[in-house]
Amino acid sequence: MDLRKLKTLIDLVSESNIAELEITENEGKVRIVKSGGAMSAAPVMTYQAAPVAAAPAAPVAAAPVEAAAPEAPAGYVVKSPMVGTFYSSSTPGGKPLAEVGSTIKEGDAVCIIEAMKIMNEIEADVAGTVSRVLVENGQAVEFGQPLFIIE
């Protein structure tokens, strides 16, 4: 979806009595929800991309036996659902929502990703203990980038 069109939709929801708006197009689905909090009426956006067909693989030369593939991390990997800026706490200088050794439950907020001036809480899909934090506070993250390892 075009960013100008998305910004226009967000502005319309913010300025209207509409509490929620969902639009489905060829390239994906956008859902904008206006917060009911007393402090602000900042919309929250989720974007679910449409499936993309895999490109045919190019022939690859055989790799030497000594070159081992990087070891996959043990545990569940929490990945970024969007492109944006990673924040470990809900307020600047505040206590991180999830840090190494934190015990979390399914649905607990583990971080915030700012995208287009909107703060999006990212929730844990599983319960467990955070064994690794893979990004730094304030770091730009990509869609699908690993953020945490939960065991």
The least confident of 13-17, 71-75, 140-144 is: 71-75
Task: Name the residue ranges covered by the structural domains of the chain.
Answer: 3-49, 76-150
Rounded to an integer, the average pLDDT of 82-107 is: 89
For residue 133 the two structure tokens come to 């934090």
Radius of gyration for the alpha carbons in the chain, expressed in angstroms and rounded: 19
Instruction: Report pTM.
Output: 0.51
- What's the CA gap between 23 and 29, in Å, rounded? 6
CATH of domain 76-150: 2.40.50.100
Which whole-number Å values give the CA distances from 8 to 4, 26, 91, 121, in the listed order?
Answer: 6, 19, 27, 22
pLDDT over 90, % of the chain: 19
At 84 the pLDDT is: 92
Q: What is the pLDDT of residues 34-89, one digit of tens each?
A: 765 433 334 444 444 444 454 555 555 554 544 444 555 678 888 889 999 999 88
For residue 80 the two structure tokens come to 């970024």
At 73 the pLDDT is: 60
Per DSSP (E only), the strands in 7-145 are 20-25, 28-34, 43-49, 76-79, 84-87, 103-104, 109-115, 118-123, 128-133, 140-141
